[in-house]
Amino acid sequence: MALGNFTRSKSVRIGSVIAGAALFCVLATQNAAGYRYGVQDQSFYIPAILRHLDPTLYPHDTELLDAQDQLLAFDNGTARLVRVTGWSLPAVFLGGHLVSLTLLFAGTVGIGRALYRSWWTVAGLAFALTLRHQITDTAVNTLEGYFHPRMLAFAIGVSALLLFLRGRSWLALAVAAVAGLCHPMIGLWFLIWVGVASAVADSRTRLLSSAAALAGVATVAVMVVWGPLQGQLVQMDETWRAVLVSKDYLFPNDWPWVTWLVNLGYGATIGAIYWYRRSTVEVSARETGLVVGCSVLLVLFIISVPLVGAGVALVVQIQIARIFWMLDFFSTIYIVWLLIESPLRVSSVHVKYAGVALFAAAAIARGSYIMWVEHPERALFEVQLPSSDWQRVMDWSSRTIPGTNLLVDPGHAWRYGSSVRVAARRDVYLEEVKDTGMAIYSRGIAQRVSDRIQDLGDFTALTATKATALARKHDLHYLITTHPVELQIAHRSGPFIVYSLGR
C-alpha cells in the first residue's frame, strides 16, 4: 500500500497514503463480503435510531429496545445527526463504514511508522488487517460488512494508541473515552489499555492516571447503584440463561480447549515477540507500556471467568472476552514485523518484498474469491435494502398505521435478509437473533422472549386458531407467512402471504 521508506518526499508519502487508504477500504469491504445496509446487528441499531427520530414507532417493542438503548449514546447522537443534516440513515451508515475503515487505516499507518523501520512493513500490516476473521468464540469479527458502532469505536481506539505512541498520553485517553461514546465496552477496554500503558511509560501522568482510574470506578459504581446498570449485580437464573443458550460466546467458562489455546495464544505471541524485539531492536518505554496493557487486559479476562461461570449478570453483559480483539490487533502488528522486518528472516530486500507481496496477494485473492465466487449476487456496496418479494411485503407493511404489530417467522431476519423492524419500521412479535441478544441486558426481556418462544411453538405449523389466540394475547394485527392459513388475505407478494388477524 504505502511504499518506499520513511525518507521519501512529503508529497509522495501523502499520495501513497491516500491511494493506500482507498485500496484498504476496497479490500477490507471485499474480504467482509461487501457492504450491506440493514443487516445483522443493525436489526437493533436502526430501529433504536428511528425511534429517536419518530417516537410513534415501535410502541409494542419499546421495552425491548430500551434494554440495550439505555446503555448507549450512539443511537441518540446519530438520530440528532440525521435530524440536523437531513441526511438519510443509509447515507449516514455508509459514511460511518468508510470513516471507520479510513480511521483504522490511518491509525495503522501511524502505529507502523512508530514501530517499524520501513514503509514496506507498514504496507504489509495494512494488507494483513484487511484479512477479516472472527476472534474465536467472541461473536466479534475484525471487520464487518456493514456499519457497526463497534467498528468505529475500535478505529478510534487505534487512533488513541497512535497518540499514546507519539507521547500524547492525555489526548490518547480522551480519544479512548470518545470511543466509549460509540460503543461503551470497546471504549472501556481501550481506556484500560491506554491508561495502564501511560502509567507504565509516563511517570508524569502516573498519579493522574490513577486518579482517572478511581474516577472511572466511581462512575461505574454510580451507574450500578443508581443508573442504567442498576440491579445487574445479580445471578442469572435458569430462565435467563436458557434464553441465552445460543449466545455461547458469553460464557468462556464453557469454551472448548481449542478456543482457550487460540485466544491465550495471542498473549503468548505478544510476549514472545516483545522479548525478541528487545534483544534485536530498540524498544521504547511506550511500546513496553502497551505490552503491559495487553497483559492487564488478559488478567482481567481470567479474573472474570469464574464470575461469568457463576452467572453474575453484569460480568456476563460486559463481554470481556472481546479484549482478544485488541490482542489480535497487537499480535498482528508484531507478526508482520517478525515476517518482514526482523533480523530473524534472511536479510534480503527480496525477502522483504516477498513478505509484502504475500500479504497483498492473500488480501486480493481472498477478497476476489468472496465477492465473485462465494457471493456473486452481491454488489461491493449495497447502500439500500435490495429489491425482493420480502422487501415488497415490507414496503406494504410500512404503509400500515404506526404501531402495527406483525407475526412473522422468528428467523425472518437471517432467512430473508432484513428484519421487520428495519425493513417495515413496524413492531414484530419475535425476532430470534436480536431479541435474544437484547435479553442479555434484562431479566424481564429474557422472560418475555422465553414466553413468546413457548407461546408460538413451531411457526411452520401455525394454524388460524392459534394465530388469532396469539393476536388477542399480544395485540397482533397481521400474520406474514409462506404457508396457507385459513384467514383473510390482506396482501400477497411472491411466496409471502399477509393475513389479517382481525384487529
pLDDT digits (tens, 9 = 90+) for 186-196: 999 999 999 99
Choice among 1-5, 296-300, 327-331, 427-431 with the minimum mean pLDDT = 1-5
| 387 secondary structure, DSSP code | P
| Percent of the chain's residues with pLDDT above 70 | 90
Q: What is the pLDDT of residues 158-214, one digit of tens each?
A: 999 999 999 998 899 999 999 999 999 999 999 999 999 998 987 776 666 666 666
* Mean pLDDT along residues 124-136: 95
Smallest CA-to-CA distance from 406 within 388, 389, 419 is with 419
* Mean pLDDT along residues 413-425: 94
pTM: 0.92
State residue 210's pLDDT score.
67
Q: What is the pLDDT of residues 74-120, one digit of tens each?
A: 999 999 999 999 999 999 999 999 999 999 999 999 999 999 988 89
pLDDT range class, residue 18, cuts 50, 70, 90: confident
Here the cell at position 338 is 517478525
Q: Which residues contact 319 (CB under 8 A, 6 or more apart)?
A: 138, 185, 249, 250
Q: Give the phi and the psi of residue 93 in degrees, each rounded to 5.
A: -70, -40
State residue 4's pLDDT score.
43
Buried b (16+ CB within 10 A) or exposed e, 51-74: bbeeeebbebbeebbbbbbebbeb
Which one has a higher pLDDT value, 225 or 496?
Answer: 496
Q: What is the pLDDT of residues 42-69, one digit of tens each?
A: 999 999 999 999 999 999 999 999 988 8
* Mean pLDDT along residues 457-483: 94
To which H or E segment does residue 481 belong? strand 478-481
Q: What is the pLDDT of residues 264-276, one digit of tens each?
A: 999 999 999 999 9
**CA of residue 32 relative to chain centroid, distance:** 13
- Mean pLDDT, the chain, integer: 90
**β 496-500/489-493 pair status:** antiparallel
Block residue for cell numbers 397481521: 478
State residue 342's pLDDT score.
78
DSSP-assigned letters across all residues of 13-34 = HHHHHHHHHHHHHHHHHHHTT-
- Judge contact between 186 and 153, C-beta under 8 A: yes
Choice among 101-105, 339-343, 375-379, 417-421 with the minimum mean pLDDT = 339-343
- Judge contact between 327 and 297, C-beta under 8 A: yes
Could you count the other beta carbons within 10 Å of the beta carbon of residue 460? 9
- Domain residue extents for the chain: 10-31+88-374, 389-500
pLDDT range class, residue 282, cuts 50, 70, 90: confident
| 251 secondary structure, DSSP code | -
**β 478-481/405-408 pair status:** parallel
